[in-house]
Amino acid sequence: MAAEIIRRSCPTCEACCGLQVHVDRDTQQILRIEGDPDDFRSRGYLCPKAYAMKAVYEDPDRLTQPMRKRADGQFEAISWDEAFAYAAEKLRPIREKYGPQSVGVFIGEPTGHNLGALLYTTLFMRALGTPRAFSSATMDQFPKNVTLKLMYGDGWMFVIPDVKRTDLFICMGGNPVVSQGSLMGTPDVPGVLRGIRQRGGRVVVIDPRRTETADLADEHHFIRPGTDAYFLAAMIHVFFEEGLVNLGRFAAFTDGVQEVREICRDFSPEAVAETTGIAAETIRALAREYATTKKAALYGRIGTCTQEFGTLASWLLDVAAILTGHFDEEGCMMFPRPAAGQSEPGEASAPMSVGAYRTVARGLPEIDGQLPAGVMAEEIEEKSAGDQRMRALLTAAGNPVLSAPNGDRLAASLGELDFMVSVDIYINETTSHADLILPTTVSAEEENFDFTYATTCSHNYARWSPAIFEAPAGAKPHWEVLMRLVEAATGVPLEQLDEAMVGGIAGSVTRPGGRCEGKTTEELIAAIGSERGPLRILDLMLRAGPYGDRFVAGKDGLSLRALRECGGLVDLGPLKPRLPEVLKTPDRRIPLVHPYITADVPRLAAALADAQRRDRLLLIGRRQVRNMNSWLHNAQVLAKGPARCTLLMHPDDAKRFGLATGEKARVRSQSGEIVTEVEVSDEVMKGVVRLPHGFGHTRPGSRTAIATRLQPGANANQLTDEGPLDVPSGTHIANGIPVEIARA
Ligand SMILES: Nc1nc2c(c(=O)[nH]1)N[C@H]1C(S)=C(S)[C@@H](COP(=O)(O)OP(=O)(O)OC[C@H]3O[C@@H](n4cnc5c(=O)[nH]c(N)nc54)[C@H](O)[C@@H]3O)O[C@H]1N2
Ligand SMILES: Nc1nc2c(c(=O)[nH]1)N[C@H]1C(S)=C(S)[C@@H](COP(=O)(O)OP(=O)(O)OC[C@H]3O[C@@H](n4cnc5c(=O)[nH]c(N)nc54)[C@H](O)[C@@H]3O)O[C@H]1N2
Ligand code: SF4
Ligand SMILES: [Mo]
């Protein structure tokens, strides 16, 4: 047996832990997966989902050939040539007759974990030229993108808690002990939180549930779902009232302090205590502790984004940090400096686009290129979108029937499409509606680079990972499938698109003032070679990047070759202050108050009284260690054990509805109804119920036998209403949904 150990990063979540993968080359098997003690980031840590890579690689349900739907609704395997010819035959006439906007696109979460998928998705979207662009972002972090764009000029330059060096970590609406941290890329979150306390620091959790993170914290406060903006405004109110505002070096490039004071004047701790469920004195004490602790990080995630006031909450988190000097400083909220994928300080940034395209059914504006994911159905339906309807849909690594609002309506509308293609590895709740499914190679068969997650890490690093096995002959990587699909739809050859992308990047770094000024585009392209695909683009980005050799002979620096030669992982040091250099706002200053954001304040003020209502039961989300959104339930090793799709409910509420653990409840919202098992626990706030998303593997047509057998569950997003939005960002409300409950 030819056993071998391959070191690579785990492709399954943002932590990107280092793994040692034990393989048998002869049988092409992954024997076992262990944490890599030599990885300076994760030091041997891993979670059960490290096995996802093996489970997916071995899964007999995973597709390895293109599948075409026959007239009888069954899928049949076809060749790649047939597949792309079929796509061309269907997509071209639709685009020609009805225009590029008649073809919609949905991009899903796993895209962020795959270098090729990520780099080429941008090109894919541009080449298709459709404004009907949807993604998981509007069920996730889009309020952050909007805030970042307006305050700092770059919507994708995330600000991350410096958790390893902070003395006070305030965690709102995130459960990093389970999710392993999102927009805070840090392996072994439990260890890191313990570390804060061991050095005398404190961890405070603000969450409608006493979470696994709260269990490791010094303090936990229940907050009513959707009320974080009130809580944060009240903290800021206290900063002004008690003389705790201290901008330090930020005073030189920050505007709008007095306007913030005005906005927060009416939101005193006393005014919001009833609404938030947090006592005024607690808010005051936290505000004081935060303002006076030098290294303090105020962090907010999903619970503060996918809620009624996601943009205001995201904005106020940053405002609170800037006003008290807890921004861009060690131990506070900081900007990573990745080796690739971020524009250079000083580079111009286009203004945020709003309303360049409006949806047909509801007239909703595109916001920085995104439309709310939940409007796909109404854009397809003839009765709401008429002649201007979306006629074709391309999904790539997404399962919006389970991940976006009102899955039943979306599933029904997919049947009204003239044509649907899914780039995906399973026949599932979404892709089963496609006319054509195009599978891709999987992580075990691909070289990778932690592209996205090095831009959201709490310690700068670069990581290249080798492929474990060679892909079987004929298998295609995600990037190539996307490009061939564009070729089929538009007639523009892959080679031409690829050249244009590489030429564009090389041109931008060789122009005057660029990082490789003095070199020519041709020289750069000659140096990175002619092999198509993401690796030479990565090489170009690395070499022209902040740690690169700038294509200067004999100069040390990062390159693809250097990474391969050193084993893949490079420590680029702790996060460092980057402001004001990285500001890309038009005047290179920070507008604390931007009219686009603050236009939503009256809506917040008007909702204060409504938010005090105690008669409503509010549904929130729930992540669990062995799930990854909707797509890992077909892995036996992760799906085994008791049913996980349970509705957590406070004992007082359970009593009110006459329900006990293990009994079934009927949960109804404005958009639908599901039946699910109840789990009674006082870890959830009274008046709040909590359900995980990504379940509901019960639809006919899917081919995920293990998921359906072991963890069918119910679709939480049947209860998510596509109507109401966090207005400034067009993000859906997945937390704080009014529901009614009855015994089933
Ligand atoms: N109610 C509620 N809804 C939510 C959330 C919530 O908290 N509550 N969270 C939201 C968030 S944050 C997100 S990111 C979204 C996620 O929602 P989606 O972006 O829709 O992602 P998944 O549900 O994980 O589906 C991933 C799809 O990618 C496919 N896939 C997996 N690996 C590969 C691969 O290597 N190649 C290809 N081509 N395909 C692959 C899977 O088969 C599956 O179809 O869900 C959102 N929905
Ligand atoms: N195991 C696992 N890990 C994952 C994923 C997964 O599905 N499974 N998904 C990945 C993805 S795509 C993402 S985006 C990240 C998300 O990462 P996190 O944001 O850490 O995810 P959640 O565990 O959903 O945490 C959200 C928390 O917000 C709380 N909450 C709900 N409503 C409110 C509110 O109104 N206010 C406040 N303050 N809190 C509220 C919930 O109780 C919950 O504890 O996780 C990633 N990691
Ligand atoms: S924490 Fe995330 S990166 Fe680490 S082993 Fe688990 S799934 Fe993989
Ligand atoms: Mo996400």
380-427 confidence digits (pLDDT tens): 999 999 999 999 999 999 999 999 999 999 999 999 999 999 999 999
Q: Nearest 5°: phi and psi at 136? A: -70, -10
List Cβ neighbours of 155 (8 Å cut-off, separation of 6 or more): 145, 146, 148, 149, 352, 368
Pocket test for ligand 2, best of 207, 306, 309, 681 (most atoms within 8 A of CB): 207
Angle in degrees, 0-180, between the axes of helices 280-292 and 269-276, rounded to the nearest 10? 110
C-beta of residue 525 within 8 angstroms of C-beta of residue 506? yes
Q: What's the pLDDT score for residue 345? A: 75
Angle in degrees, 0-180, between the axes of helices 228-241 and 269-276, rounded to the nearest 10? 160
Q: CATH topology for 615-743? A: Barwin-like endoglucanases (2.40.40)
- Cβ–ligand 3 distance for 180 under 6 Å, the answer yes
Residue labelled with tokens 């007999």: 60
C-beta of residue 372 within 8 angstroms of C-beta of residue 353? no
Q: What mean pLDDT do residues 533-544 have?
A: 98
Q: What tokens were used for 214?
A: 């709260």
Q: What mean pLDDT do residues 69-84 have?
A: 98
Angle in degrees, 0-180, between the axes of helices 478-490 and 80-98, rounded to the nearest 10? 50
C-beta of residue 433 within 8 angstroms of C-beta of residue 411? yes
Report how far residue 2's alpha carbon sits from residue 24's, in angstroms, rounded to the nearest whole number.
5
C-beta of residue 227 within 8 angstroms of C-beta of residue 193? no
Nearest CA to ligand 2 atom 31: 303
Residue-wise DSSP of 562-581: HHHHTTSEEEEEE----TTT
Q: Please report which ligand is nearest the Cα atom of 619.
A: 2
Report how far residue 258's alpha carbon sits from residue 29's, in angstroms, rounded to the nearest whole number.
63
pLDDT digits (tens, 9 = 90+) for 6-63: 999 999 999 999 999 999 999 999 999 999 999 999 999 999 999 999 999 999 999 9
- Cβ–ligand 3 distance for 638 under 6 Å, the answer no
pLDDT > 70 in the chain, percent: 100
Same fold for the domain at 152-341+582-602 and the one at 615-743?
A: no
- Cβ–ligand 1 distance for 400 under 6 Å, the answer yes
Task: Report how far ligand 3's centroid is from the alpha carbon of 14 (Å).
Answer: 7
Residue labelled with tokens 């040692």: 20
In the chain, what are the domain boundaries?
A: 152-341+582-602, 615-743
Task: Report how far ligand 3's centroid is from the alpha carbon of 424 (Å).
Answer: 22
Q: What mean pLDDT do residues 325-331 have?
A: 98
Looking from the CA of residue 47, the nearest atom of ligand 3 is 6
Q: What's the pLDDT score for residue 610? A: 81
Task: Quickly state the pLDDT bin for 614 (edges 50, 70, 90).
Answer: confident
Residue 728 reports pLDDT greater than 80: yes
Q: Where are the beta strands (DSSP E) in 443-596?
A: 448-449, 459-465, 569-574, 590-591
Task: Quickly state the pLDDT bin for 156 (edges 50, 70, 90).
Answer: very high
Q: What's the pLDDT score for residue 3? A: 87
Q: What mean pLDDT do residues 163-191 have?
A: 98
Report how far residue 305's alpha carbon sits from residue 311's, in angstroms, rounded to the nearest whole number.
7
Q: What's the pLDDT score for residue 613? A: 80
Which secondary-structure segment (H or E) carries 118? helix 115-128
- Cβ–ligand 3 distance for 46 under 6 Å, the answer yes
Task: Report how far ligand 1's centroid is from the alpha carbon of 313 (Å).
Answer: 24
Task: Report how far ligand 3's centroid is from the alpha carbon of 47 (Å).
Answer: 5
Task: Report how far ligand 4's centroid is from the alpha carbon of 320 (Å).
Answer: 24
- Cβ–ligand 3 distance for 50 under 6 Å, the answer yes
SS3 (DSSP) at 377: helix
Q: CATH topology for 152-341+582-602? A: Dimethylsulfoxide Reductase; domain 2 (3.40.228)
Looking from the CA of residue 180, the nearest atom of ligand 3 is 1
Q: What's the pLDDT score for residue 1? A: 62
Task: Report how far ligand 3's centroid is from the alpha carbon of 380 (Å).
Answer: 37
Report how far residue 324's alpha carbon sits from residue 289's, in angstroms, rounded to the nearest whole number.
11
pLDDT digits (tens, 9 = 90+) for 642-685: 999 999 999 999 999 999 999 999 999 999 999 999 999 999 99
Report how far residue 556's alpha carbon sits from residue 107's, in angstroms, rounded to the nearest whole number.
37
C-beta of residue 524 within 8 angstroms of C-beta of residue 532? no
Q: What's the pLDDT score for residue 439? A: 98
Task: Quickly state the pLDDT bin for 612 (edges 50, 70, 90).
Answer: confident
Task: Report how far ligand 2's centroid is from the alpha carbon of 550 (Å).
Answer: 40
pTM of the model as a whole: 0.98
Residue 115, Cβ density class (10 Å: 0-12 exposed, 13-18 middle, ≥19 buried): buried
Q: What mean pLDDT do residues 254-277 have?
A: 97
Residue 575 reports pLDDT greater than 70: yes
Task: Report how far ligand 4's centroid is from the alpha carbon of 601 (Å).
Answer: 26
Report how far residue 712's alpha carbon sits from residue 387's, in angstroms, rounded to the nearest whole number.
38
Q: What mean pLDDT do residues 520-548 have?
A: 97
Nearest CA to ligand 1 atom 45: 403
Looking from the CA of residue 694, the nearest atom of ligand 1 is 23
pLDDT digits (tens, 9 = 90+) for 446-468: 999 999 999 999 999 999 999 99
Mean pLDDT of the chain: 97
Q: What's the pLDDT score for residue 347? A: 73
C-beta of residue 178 within 8 angstroms of C-beta of residue 301? no
Report how far residue 86's alpha carbon sits from residue 99's, in angstroms, rounded to the nearest whole number.
19
Q: What mean pLDDT do residues 365-369 have?
A: 97
SS3 (DSSP) at 309: coil
Nearest CA to ligand 2 atom 3: 179
